[in-house]
Amino acid sequence: MTPLEQCAEHLCKLIAHQTVNPGGDELGLCKTLASQLGDFGADEVTVSTVERANNSSGAYVYASFGTPTLLLNVHLDTVPANSGWQRDPFVAEITKDRIYGLGSCDIKGAIAAILTALDSGKAHNLGILFSGDEENGSRCVPHFLANNDTSHIRQAVVCEPTARAAGLAHRGVLAYRARYIGKGGHSSKADHMEKPIVELSKLALQLDRIALEDLHKGPEGMKGLCMNVAMLTGGVAYNVVPDLGELSFSLRPAPGFDQAAFDARLERARRESHAKIEIAQITDHRPFHCEDEGAIRELVGSHTEQFVGLNFWTEAALLQAAGIDSVVIGPGDISQAHTADEYVLLEDLQWALEMFSEIIAKHET
């Protein structure tokens, strides 16, 4: 069996193990991976569970080979299968040039490549973190950082489908919920009653104005705020004045984002819309920018010619905030992630296998 065939076999088994988030069996897969990592000569392997806000459990497995100074991190959970699948999402299908299956691109292909690379030789001073809950909360990586000794880890490779490019920066994600609470009642009195939907609509227009003002601001390749006014809800019938309205919105700020200045603009928009509107932040994923680009370029530079900024958020931001210089790179294309009939190209798996084999073979300090 060739290394690529071995990698494909690993990936097929990973796809079959359902780790849909929420509701999937992250712990079961972590236990399976723990056994494999032990067989590959890890000095210590631990499996940890993490409680989520909805009382479900996420999990991660961490293996250390010596005293890790480099961390390889891949998330093992997937989003639910999108509508439109023409095949079973949990039964891998191998064709001449690709492998179909949920998570094949995002990002179980990288796990398969790392497992195959580890099978070719003993790792040195390396940490392997296969972590859950990336797709719906990101609680596992903070738990790992808080409960493990990472003082010797200087660099991290965070795997996401980047089409073989290396991400040295990416946008954050900030999400908010605005709420207007009124009294509600019969629509025959609507002219003289509070109007939650109308007032929140005014805020929606203010947010769009902010987005247009910043459309051409920001670093090259990441200009604008990606402001998304996503949902306006409230009311039960056309003849009932609603007593509650809610507006959900988000933005994806680039590195260098001035949070304090945005907060002030948001507060002005709130007041100009209606003073009774209350805004709460529900997601706070900050932007990422690698601090020591030179060392990261040396680590992965022979395997990519593209060092880019990414428009999607990753958990590299959490590792970088903990003082671990990080890069985002992996097989597959983000345009395939979260789609029906998701796939990864076999040539991408071959590329990832070669990259991880070289990193593992050369990393000794």
Residues annotated as part of the active site? 134
Buried b (16+ CB within 10 A) or exposed e, 234-245: beeeeeebbbeb
DSSP 227: -
- Give me 105's structure tokens: 């691109």
Token match 């070669």: residue? 354
Phi, psi of 11 (to 5 degrees): -65, -40
Torsion-angle region of 287 (φ positive above 0: left; ψ -120 to 50: alpha; else: beta): beta
Quick one: 284 exposed, middle or buried, by C-beta within 10 A (0-12, 13-18, 19+)?
Answer: exposed
Task: Please state, in angstroms and as integers, the Cα–Cα distance from residue 75 to each residue in 29, 105, 131, 140, 164, following that order.
Answer: 11, 12, 5, 9, 17
Long-range contacts of 357-360 (CB under 8 A, 24+ apart): 357/3, 357/116, 357/117, 357/120, 358/302, 358/303, 359/70, 359/72, 359/117, 359/157, 359/299, 359/300, 360/117, 360/118, 360/120, 360/121, 360/123, 360/126
First CA to last CA distance, the chain: 32
